Structure 1
Amino acid sequence: MPFLQTAAIGALGGILFTVLHLPIPWLLGPMLAVMVSARLLPFNLQWDKRMRNAGLIVIGYVIGRSLTPTALAEIFSQFWLMLVFTASLVALCIGIAYMITKLSGLDFKTALLGTIPGGMTQALVMAEETEGVDVAIVTMTQTVRLLIIICSVPIIVAVMPSEPLTVTEEIFHFTPSFVGYMLAATIAALLAAHFRFPTAYLIGPALITVILQLILPSEPMPAPIIHVAQLAMGVSVGLMLKPSEGKQKGALLYALLSGSILFVAASLLALLFYQLTDASAATSLLALVPGGLDQLGMVAHAVGADLPLVSGYQIFRLFFVLLIVPFIMRAIFNHIDNSHTST
Structure 2
Amino acid sequence: MQLRLVPPLFLVTPAVGALGALCAESIGWPLPWMVGSMVMVIIIRCSGWNLRDVPNGRRVGQWLIASVIGMHFSAAVLSEVSNHFLMMLVAALLTLLTALIGIALINRSGVDLPTSFFSLMPANSAEMIILGERYQADRARVAAAHSLRLVLIVLVIPAAVTWGLGTGARSMPAPADWSWLAIMLPTGFAVAWLWTRIGMPNGWAFGPMLVCAVFTIVFDLHLSLPTWLSKFGQLLLGCSLGSYFDRAFFRSAPSFLAKVLLITIAAIGVAFGAGWIMSLAVDVGPMSLTLGLMPGSSTEMSLTAEALGLGVALVTAMQIIRMVVVMLVAELIYKRWERRVQARRYN
- TM-score where L is the length of structure 1: 0.91
Q: Deviations over 1:132-181 (max 9, x none)?
A: x344433333232222211111111112223545x355332332x22111
Residue 145 in structure 1 maps to residue 149 in structure 2: yes
8 Å CA contact 2:288–2:310 kept in 1: the answer is yes
Residue 22 in structure 1 maps to residue 29 in structure 2: yes
Corresponding residue of 1:264: 269
Q: Offset of 1:242 from its aligned partner?
A: 3.5
1:84/1:299 CA distance change after superposition, 3 Å: same
1:51/1:164 CA distance change after superposition, 3 Å: closer
Matches of 1:242 and 1:254, distance apart in 2: 19
8 Å CA contact 1:147–1:241 kept in 2: the answer is no
Matches of 2:42 and 2:278, distance apart in 1: 33
Residue 59 in structure 1 maps to residue 62 in structure 2: no
- 2:192 aligns to what SS in structure 1? helix
1:169/1:258 CA distance change after superposition, 3 Å: closer
Q: Offset of 1:46 from its aligned partner?
A: 1.6
8 Å CA contact 1:14–1:30 kept in 2: the answer is yes
8 Å CA contact 1:287–1:309 kept in 2: the answer is yes
Matches of 1:46 and 1:122, distance apart in 2: 23
Instruction: Give 2:175's match in structure 1, choosing from 171, 186, 198.
Output: 171
Matches of 2:99 and 2:210, distance apart in 1: 29
Residue 198 in structure 1 maps to residue 198 in structure 2: no
Q: Which moved more, 1:228-237 or 1:289-298?
A: 289-298
8 Å CA contact 1:23–1:155 kept in 2: the answer is yes
Corresponding residue of 1:227: 231
8 Å CA contact 2:173–2:224 kept in 1: the answer is no
Residue 181 in structure 1 maps to residue 184 in structure 2: yes
Matches of 1:40 and 1:265, distance apart in 2: 34
Instruction: Give 2:12's match in structure 1, choosing from 5, 11, 14.
Output: 5
Q: What is the identity, as a one-letter code, of the residue corresponding to 2:127?
A: Q
Q: What is the identity, as a one-letter code, of the residue corresponding to 1:300?
A: A
Instruction: Give 1:274's match in structure 2, choosing from 273, 276, 279.
Output: 279
Instruction: Give 2:256's match in structure 1, choosing from 243, 246, 251.
Output: 251
Q: Offset of 1:186 from its aligned partner?
A: 1.3
Q: What is the identity, as a one-letter code, of the residue corresponding to 1:46?
A: R
Q: Offset of 1:71 from its aligned partner?
A: 1.5
The correspondence of residues 1-343 of structure 1 with structure 2, limited to 5 A, is 1-42=8-49, 44-102=50-108, 104-131=109-136, 133-159=137-163, 160-164=165-169, 167=171, 169-175=173-179, 177-216=180-219, 217=221, 219-245=223-249, 246-340=251-345, 342-343=346-347
Q: What is the identity, as a one-letter code, of the residue corresponding to 1:259?
A: T
1:289/1:214 CA distance change after superposition, 3 Å: closer
1:143/1:54 CA distance change after superposition, 3 Å: closer
The percent of aligned pairs where both chains have the same amino acid is: 22
8 Å CA contact 1:189–1:202 kept in 2: the answer is yes
| Count of equivalent residues | 337
Q: Deviations over 1:286-307 (max 9, x none)?
A: 1111111111111111111110
Matches of 2:181 and 2:147, distance apart in 1: 36
Q: Offset of 1:85 from its aligned partner?
A: 1.6
User: What's the C-alpha RMSD, in Å, of the aligned pairs?
Assistant: 2.0
Corresponding residue of 2:4: none
- 2:252 aligns to what SS in structure 1? coil
**Structure 2: segments with no counterpart, 5+ residues:** 1-7
Matches of 1:142 and 1:333, distance apart in 2: 22
Matches of 1:248 and 1:59, distance apart in 2: 33
8 Å CA contact 1:178–1:218 kept in 2: the answer is no
Q: What is the identity, as a one-letter code, of the residue corresponding to 1:205?
A: P
Matches of 1:169 and 1:226, distance apart in 2: 11
